[in-house]
Structure 1
């Protein structure tokens, strides 16, 4: 399963790996969630392209999106049979760049989040299926789901499903929908080889979508240590005995007006 994931590699590093023609600039994201726009790599007319899509697939035949369940994952075992995925598997296979993802382990009714990433520290390419939904007024929405498969034995303690990751040597096979039929592409929807991924427990701060920063990736022990090292300000009223008068507050120095930042990096999210 994949319900939250991370992109920390630079735009240029991802462009070199996936070889798309555009040169997008986007910030690192540490807590990407469903319904948000995410980077996707497609191949059209022999060239690879970078595109933003909503995470949550909407088949073209859906009349009212409000009545269609949010589909963020596609089970690889049934993508050929499910009407929601058949057309995308044949015509719009894609890759979703990532640097890791989160999984929640059920430990006696308590959900413990873990960050999972490649052992070699390199970016990951999730296998994706894309569809363009067209509304009654002509509006279009590009959407995507991430393919999942059975977890290997070593990862089942976390969850019984994992996102399908495509090796760089197989990018062309997965992306070239014109030359590679669905049956051939299906051969890539397999579990990761033993030892490819490593993981560690992280803070439950990741549970809140609004939290987005590198501290989310820290192992729990390091995250707790970092929090403990921060000085805790004490209230003046608590530090002075009740029998003694409180000291008069010191006059505050006027704060200088901030200089507008020159931030040339736009957000694609």
Structure 2
């Protein structure tokens, strides 16, 4: 799954990188995005005749939900079922987006079988420092059309399987237009990056402070050189 991630770039940086018109609220850098936080997304807009940079609440809430509270449980949508589940299928068909990220976090249990309650945090991020584009969905809820979003996950591949059995579905730039257009063949649209491309993702051991959502700063991403991925 993808339960925490980092997104620290400004409106100007993201709108330039994704060639999108900026209609978002001023973005605040977050090194520890948690469910229900406001996050940037890229979607298409008929009004602007192309991509726009917008802001949404992390955790998709279908239009028929009675309130926003269920969104905290819907931060992720599985690639295997996103096209068929009632909660996600309408957005998959018509309301897809890109969710910009610097990287994401996962936790691996460490220690021996008797004392193995401690978990080691890892941060996955492109080694070249470029932004990631997670495949996402969006929906508008309520009379005020509150935008909400989910990140699609898929089975982990390559070295990422040592950290978790799931990973965000990362889209390369040459698939952005097809993804945002709606329709299309789900099997083709939801295929993960080749393992050779995923080799460019750095797996970085970091400190336990990221486990507390109240902690939020660049120091969370500092590597722990004494920790190795087993």
Q: Would you call these one fold, judging by a TM-score over 0.5?
A: yes
**What corresponds to 2:155 in structure 1?**
150
Deviations 1:94-132 (A, max 9, x none): 001111111111223321110100122210000001111
The 3-state SS of whatever aligns with 2:21 is coil
Aligned counterpart in structure 2 of residue 110 of structure 1, from 107, 118, 122: 118
For residues 199 and 64 of structure 1, the distance between their equivalents in structure 2, rounded to whole angstroms, comes to: 37
Distance 1:218 1:119, change over 3 A: same
Equivalent residues of 2:134, 2:152 under 8 A apart = yes
Distance 1:67 1:77, change over 3 A: closer
The 3-state SS of whatever aligns with 2:90 is helix
Aligned counterpart in structure 2 of residue 96 of structure 1, from 71, 96, 99: 99
Shift of 1:217: 0.5
Aligned counterpart in structure 1 of residue 213 of structure 2, from 205, 209, 224: 209
Q: Are 2:127 and 1:127 equivalent residues in the alignment?
A: no
**What corresponds to 2:8 in structure 1?**
8
Judging by fraction of residues, say which structure has more strand. Answer: 2
Shift of 1:198: 1.2
- The structure with the largest alpha-carbon Rg is 1
**What corresponds to 1:80 in structure 2?**
83
Shift of 1:21: 1.1
Deviations 1:168-189 (A, max 9, x none): 1111111112xxx142x54232
**What corresponds to 1:250 in structure 2?**
none
More moved, 168-177 vs 62-71: 62-71
More moved, 66-75 vs 202-211: 66-75
For residues 99 and 70 of structure 2, the distance between their equivalents in structure 1, rounded to whole angstroms, comes to: 26
Equivalent residues of 2:36, 2:71 under 8 A apart = no
For residues 23 and 90 of structure 2, the distance between their equivalents in structure 1, rounded to whole angstroms, comes to: 29
- Structure 1's unaligned 5+ residue stretches are 223-269
Shift of 1:13: 2.6
Aligned-residue RMSD, C-alpha? 2.1
Deviations 1:194-235 (A, max 9, x none): 21311111010001111111100001248xxxxxxxxxxxxx
Q: TM-score of the superposition, structure 1-length normalised?
A: 0.74
